[in-house]
Amino acid sequence: MSTINQEFFRYLIVLAMCSMAFANNNGNGVVVTARSSDDCQVTPVIHVLQYPGCVPKPIPSFACTGRCSSYLQVSGSKIWQMERSCMCCQESGEREASVSLFCPKAKQGEKKFRKVTTKAPLECMCRPCTGIEESAVIPQEMSNYAADEPPINGHFSKSI
């Protein structure tokens, strides 16, 4: 196939895609497709606090869980370009708690209890995804929170 025929064929494919998009758009140039609704919410979890030389302590906490809409589509104004929107379920505000950990291996003169501060999301919402340095992610053990436990927000205060 000659180069001119290949380019013409590509043009026809893009034109067909745009025609389908135009036939299915919502009037704003956005293609209407089957959409999954955003489902991003604060979820109760058990967070295990750890510190070297101290006994790990599970505490009730919160996490952002769920899904957010994302898409990739041909640009309405520049058909040779793609438009993308990547949304992620992320925190919107945070709460802070101070928790005491028992440290039986404390050296002579050191305290047997160490106060550690932890944070949890105050609210969650769908926001643009951002890259995170892998070294900034600290793995923590999390599991589902038991519903018959006492209220979990008593030890958290709103951060300013």
State whether 14 and 62 are in the same domain.
no
**Same domain for 145 and 68:** yes
pTM, two decimals, is 0.55
pLDDT in tens, 84-120: 888 999 999 999 999 999 999 888 888 999 999 999 9
Q: What is the pLDDT of residues 112-158, one digit of tens each?
A: 999 999 999 999 999 998 765 555 544 443 333 344 444 445 555 55
We report the CATH number of the domain holding residue 140 as: 2.10.90.10
Contacts of 91 (CB under 8 A, 6+ apart): 64, 121, 122, 123, 124
